[in-house]
Structure 1
Amino acid sequence: MKREAVQEERQKAKDKNNEDQVESSTSVNSDMPLEKILNAQLAVEPVNDTYIDAPDNAIQNICQAADHQLVSLVDWAKRIPHFIDLNLKDQVALLKSSWNELLIINFCHRSVAVEEGLLLSTGLHIHRSSAHQAGVGVVFDRVLTELVAKMRHMKMDKTELGCLRTIILFNPDAKGLRDARKIESLREKVYGNLEEYCKQKYPKEPGRFAMLLLRLPTLRSIGLKCIEHLFFLKLIGDTPIDNFLIEILDYNQHCHGKS
C-alpha cells in the first residue's frame, strides 16, 4: 500500500511529461536549486524560538496563526524558483489549492520541538488536551501521530521541508490553471532534486525519499479534515481568500515592476 502511494505521488507528474525524464540531475538542480528552496523556507520562519502555553481556545488560536501565516505564505511562494514567472491567475490558483496544507506542514515541523501539542508561528503552544476540550481532538491527534511524530522520528530537515512544501505548491491538478503542463514540469524537477538530495545527504537511508512522499497523502487528508472542523474559518475578516491572494500578489508584482 505504501509503495503504491509513493508511486502515485510521482506518477501524477510523470504521465504527461515523459520527455522531461531524460534530464540529468545537474540540469534539474541548476533549474530548481536547493539553496533557493531552503532560503525561501528560512526567510519566512519566525525568529523567536521561545513559546508559551496558549489559552484554552484551541480553534481560535490556530485560526489567528493561520491569519498571520497567510501573508508570509505569499512571501514564501514568491521566493520559490519560477513561481513569480507564472501568470497571476495561476499563482492564485496554486496558492488557493494548497494554502491549508502548506500551513499545516509548517505547524507540524515547528512542533517537532514540543511534546503533546502544536507550536504555532505566533509562539503559542496548544496542548492536545485543549484541542480535545474544543471538540477537535480526533483530527488534532492525527496531526500529532501521522505528521509530527513521523517528522520527529526521521528528523526531517528544513531542506526536505522546503522541497515538500514546493511540491505541494506546484499542484498541476489545481483548479483554474492556465498552464498545468508547466506546473507539472516544475513539480517533477523538485521531485528529482529531493530524491538526489536524500541519496547524497542520507546514503544509509535508501527509503528516505519514499518516506517523505508518504507524508503528502496523509497531509492532504488531514488538510480536508481541518477545513471541515473550521480550523481556518476566520482568515482575513470577511475577505474571500481568492481576493486576499490576488491583492497581495498583485501589489507585489507592481512593486517589483512585473506585469
Structure 2
Amino acid sequence: MSPPDCYCTEYGGRHPHAILFNILSQKETNDLRNWDYYTTSHNCHCEQRRLVCLRNPESTCQAASAVLVKTVRFMKSLPSFHHLPRGDQTLLLRSCWVPLFILGLAQERIAFEVMDLPANSILRKILLNDQESHSERETEDCPPTLAGVHNLKLCLNKLLSLDLSPKEYAYLKGALLFNPEIRGLRSTTLIEGLQKEALRVLQEVIHTLYPNNRDRFTQILLTASSLQTIAKSLVSELFFRPIIGQMDLLELLNEILFTK
C-alpha cells in the first residue's frame, strides 16, 4: 500500500466523537499547534515517510510488553468492566487498547528511539509481505514511519508534561475505556454512564490536587483526544511485531483478558 499524499492529511482529518471529546472547547486546534518541537520546525511531515524500527528492540519490546499486560489487567480489575457482556468487553478492548497502552507508556516513562529500517531487513520483508498477503487489512496495517513515530512521541511528551498523578491516570483510563460511541455495543447506556462517572471523579481528583488550576481538566482531555490519532498498526508493528511475528496481536490480548 502506497503512503498517503501527505502526513498532515493522514492524521489531521480524524476527529473522535465520544462524550469524552465532545465536551472540549474549540481551542483544541490552537493548542495542538503548539505541541512539541516536531510541529515547530515542520508544518508538513511528508518528508518523514521513511520506514523505521526500534533502535533497541530487545529491551524496548520487553518493556512495552509489560505495559501491555498491565493495560489488559487494568481492564480485568474493574468490576464494572468484568460484568459487561463478553462481546462488549471484546469491542472495548479492540477499540481502546492503543490509547490505554500509550497512557501506560507515559505512566511508566518508557523511552525509545528508532532508526531507519534497513532495506534488506528481515523485519521489513515480514511487514511488507504481511501487507501484500492481507489486502483486506490494507487500511490498517503498514510499516512504522518516522512521521508516525513523531506523532506518537508528541503525544507522549504532552502527557509527560502534565505530570499526571496515579489517580488521574486511573480515571482517565476509565474514561477512555468506557466509550459508548463504539459500534455494536449492547450495553451502550451503561457504558455511557460509566464514562460520565469516570470523568466526574477525574474532575474531582483534579480539583482536590490542583484547586487553583481551572484549565487542567480541559488540558488532560485535549491530550487524551490526541491519542486517537495514533494508528493501531503503528503501535503493533513498532513494539510487538518484532517479538510475535505474524501472530494476531488482538487474539493474544483476548487470551490475556479472558484467561483466569
Partner of 1:165: 173
Of residues 110, 133, 141, the one that matches 2:116 is: 133
Structure-1 residue corresponding to 2:238: 231
Match of residue 72 from structure 1: 70
The offset of 1:61, in angstroms, is 5.8
SS in 1 for 2:157: helix
Query: Which of residues 199, 203, 212 in structure 1 aligns to 2:211?
Result: 203
Does structure 1 residue 186 correspond to structure 2 residue 194?
Answer: yes
CA displacement at 1:222 relative to structure 2: 2.0
Q: Which runs of 5+ in 1 are unaligned?
A: 14-54, 112-118, 120-124, 253-259
Moved more, 201-210 or 172-181: 172-181
CA contact (8 A) 1:88 1:249 kept: no
Spell out the pairing of 1:206-217 with structure 2 (5 A cutoff).
206-217=214-225
- 1:122-177, Cα deviation, whole Å (9 max, x unpaired): xxx423xxx143474323333333x2332333322121111111111111123432
- Kindly provide the amino acid, as one letter, of the partner of residue 219 in structure 1: L
- 1:69 is displaced (CA, Å) by 3.6
How does 1:16-31 map onto structure 2 within 5 Å? none
Give the superposition deviation at 1:184.
0.8
Q: Which amino acid counterpart does residue 197 of structure 2 have in structure 1?
A: K
Contact 1:108 1:143 in 2 (8 A): no
Q: Distance in 1 between matches of 2:199 and 2:17?
A: 12
| Mapping of residues 60-99 of structure 1, within 5 Å | 63-99=61-97
Uncovered stretches (5+) of structure 2, i.e. residues with no partner? 1-14, 24-52, 118-143
Partner residue, 1:34: none
Q: What's 2:229 paired with?
A: 221
Whole-angstrom CA distance in 1 between matches of 2:148 and 2:57: 12
- Give the counterpart letter for 1:174 in structure 2: I
TM-score (structure 2 length as normaliser)? 0.61
CA distance in 2, matches of 1:158, 1:226: 26
**Cα RMSD after superposing both structures:** 3.2
Instruction: Tell me if the contact between 1:6 and 1:210 (Cα under 8 Å) persists in the aligned partners.
Output: no
Partners of 1:247 and 1:186 in 2: CA distance: 24
Give the distance between the partners of 1:106 and 1:142, measured in 2 at CA.
17
**Contact 2:92/2:178, CA 8 A, preserved across alignment:** yes
Q: 1:212 Cα shift?
A: 0.5
Q: What is the match of residue 164 of structure 2?
A: 156
Separation in structure 1 between the aligned mates of residue 161 and residue 256 of structure 2, nearest angstrom: 37
Q: Which moved more, 1:211-220 or 1:233-242?
A: 233-242
Offset of 1:221 from its aligned partner?
A: 0.1
8 Å CA contact 1:74, 1:249 repeated in 2: yes
Does the residue aligned with 2:206 lie in a helix, a strand or coil?
Answer: helix
Which amino acid counterpart does residue 116 of structure 2 have in structure 1?
Answer: Q
Alignment check: 8 A CA contact 1:93 1:177 kept: yes
Code of the residue aligned with 2:149 in structure 1: it is: F
Contact 1:78 1:84 in 2 (8 A): yes
What is the one-letter code of the residue matched to 1:138? A
Verify the 8 A CA contact 1:132 1:138 in the aligned structure 2: no
Q: Is the 8 A contact 1:97 1:175 kept in 2?
A: no
Match of 1:102 in 2: 100
